[in-house]
Amino acid sequence: MGNDALTEEHSSGQTAAVFRETQSSEEFTTLRRKHRGFVLPVTAVCLLWYISFVLLAGYAPEFMAQPVFGSVNVGILLGLSQVATTFIVTMTYVSYANRNLDPGARAIRERLEKNEGVR
């Protein structure tokens, strides 16, 4: 690995120079921007949501202990919503990637596999 990876040929037959050229291409840069444009904001919101839950649990136990119905309290509902958030974010990302990221990534991969590099 290390610096040798920059000069060795990849198992696909491509050299590191082709991969560097691909990384600096407009198509790859657009793909990376789309990916980060989704992932970074969603990650920030999820971290804020999780930290809020932890802070509420630690500093507002009386709020978290408030009964909602039967034996179910606010803390249990917020905890379950953390789990639900994970599934919702995953499904949303998969849908986003299928529509916005995969076509571009597929085009780049196919060109590299055909030894064409970038256009």
Per-residue pLDDT of 74-94, as tens digits, reads 999 999 999 999 999 999 999
Which residues, other chains included, contact 78 with Cβ-Cβ below 8 Å and sequence gap of 6+?
A: 53, 56, 64
Report the chain's terminal Cα–Cα distance, integer Å: 28
| Closest residue by Cα to residue 33 from 104, 113, 108 | 104
pTM for the full model? Answer: 0.77
How far is 100 from 44, CA to CA, in rounded Å? 21
**Residue 37 pLDDT > 50:** yes
